[in-house]
A and B are shown apart, each in its own frame.
Chain A
Amino acid sequence: MIQPQTHLNVADNSGARELMCIRVIGASNHRYAHIGDVIVAVIKEAVPNTPLERSEVIRAVIVRTSKELKRDNSMIMRYDDNAAVVIDQEGNPKGTRIFGVIARELRQLNFTKIVSLSA
C-alpha cells in the first residue's frame, strides 16, 4: 500500500538508496500501489559517485511491501519493508544486481529482467 510520500528502500545497485513515492502510475487519486505497480519517485538519498543523484525524479517498480500480497492458493506473503527497483521508461532495470527477495508475481507482469537478476 504505497502512496505518495512513502519512503521506499531501493533493492538494486543503481545508485539510489531511498526513494519517496510521488505518484502511482495508472491510477487516479486515492489508489495505493502494490507489488508490481510502477511509481514515480524522487531520490531522497543516493550513493555518491553514481549516475543517479539526489532529488532526481525517476520511475520504479515495487517489489516488496509490508502489506500482504495474496495469492490464488490462499497463501499470503508479507515482507518486512517496502522496496522498489529503479527502472527506465521501458521497464528495464537501471541497476545490474538485485538485493533481497523478489515476489514471484513480477514474472507475470513482464519484468523478466528483474526476476532473472534476482535469486
Chain B
Amino acid sequence: MQSFIGGSIRLGQRQGFPRWNRAQFKSSAKAYLPSQSSSNAVQGTNNSIKSPNNHLLQFLGTTFVSQANGVCSVPVLSPLAAMMSSSSSIYMTTAAFPNMHSSEPFPDVPTRIKFKRLDKTAKHIMQIVDKEAVEEVKRQRDVPEIKPGYIVQLKVEVPENKRRLSTIKGIVIARRNAGLNTTFRIRRMVAGVGVESLFPLYSPNIKEIKVLDKKKVRRAKLYYLRNKMNALR
C-alpha cells in the first residue's frame, strides 16, 4: 500500500515534519483515504498520478486533478507520512521506486513525474513558462539556428511600410540567449554606412530567416568588425 502512493508521499515527506504545522489546507476537500483511519485534505499541484491498477492511487489522482486550479499549497499527509517514516526506507528518491511490496507488478506505470518542493518549482516557474512559449513559436514557424558568423537574409515586415517585406542581409555578429527574448545582431552596409540591427529571434515581424553562408569565427561576439569596416558585407 505504501508503495502505491507515488509522488504525493514524496511530496509530503519532503516537507519534513515541522512544516505541517505551517501548512495551509483548505477544508473544502477532505479526502479520506479508504484504507486509512483519517487524513487531512490532500492538495497538490496539477500533476496527475495515474496508476490504473490501483484504486487508491486513482482516488488520489482525482482529488489532485479536481483541485488543481493552480493552487499550490503544501500538501499535508500527517498520519500517512508518520506511518511512512516510522516504517520504511522509502525516502525522497526520484530514482526507481524501491520495490518492497512487489506483489503486484507494474507493467504500464508511466514515467514518474518528478515533484520538486513547491517553492523550488515556483522559483523556476518563469523558466518553464518561457520554454513553453519558445516551443509554441517554434511549432508555428521554422526558426533556424543562428550563430555568430552566419550570413543571414531576413524578411522583415515593417508596420510603417505595410505594403511589402523588407529584405535585410548581413552577418550575425552577436547572439544573446534569453528564452523568448533571444536577440541577435546583424551588421550590414547600407548605402556606404554601416548599420547594426538587433532583432528578437522569435519576433512575429520576422517572416523568414535564411542562412546563406557560414563563416568561421573564433568568437561569440564579433564586435571587432566595427573597426574593420567590412567592405564585403
State the A residues within 8 Å of B (CB).
Answer: 64, 68, 73-81, 83, 99-101, 104, 107, 119
Contact = CB atoms under 8 A, between A and B. Distances in A.
A104 B159 CA distance: 11
Overall SS of chain B's interface: strand
7 contacts: A73-B159, A75-B197, A77-B198, A78-B195, A78-B197, A81-B193, A119-B191
Interface stretch (B10-18, B50-58, B62-70, B199-207): B199-207
A77 B195 contact: yes
B118 to A, nearest CB: 33
A73 B205 contact: yes
Given A74-B200, A74-B203, A99 B195 contact: no
B160 A80 contact: no
B226 interface: yes
B205 A100 contact: no
Given A74-B203, A107-B160, A79 B197 contact: no
Given A73-B159, A73-B203, A107-B160, A78 B193 contact: no
Given A80-B226, A100-B193, A101-B190, A75 B198 contact: yes
Interface in B165-218: 183, 190-200, 203, 205
Contact of B195 (A74, A79, A104): A79
Nearest to B226: A80
B160 A100 contact: no
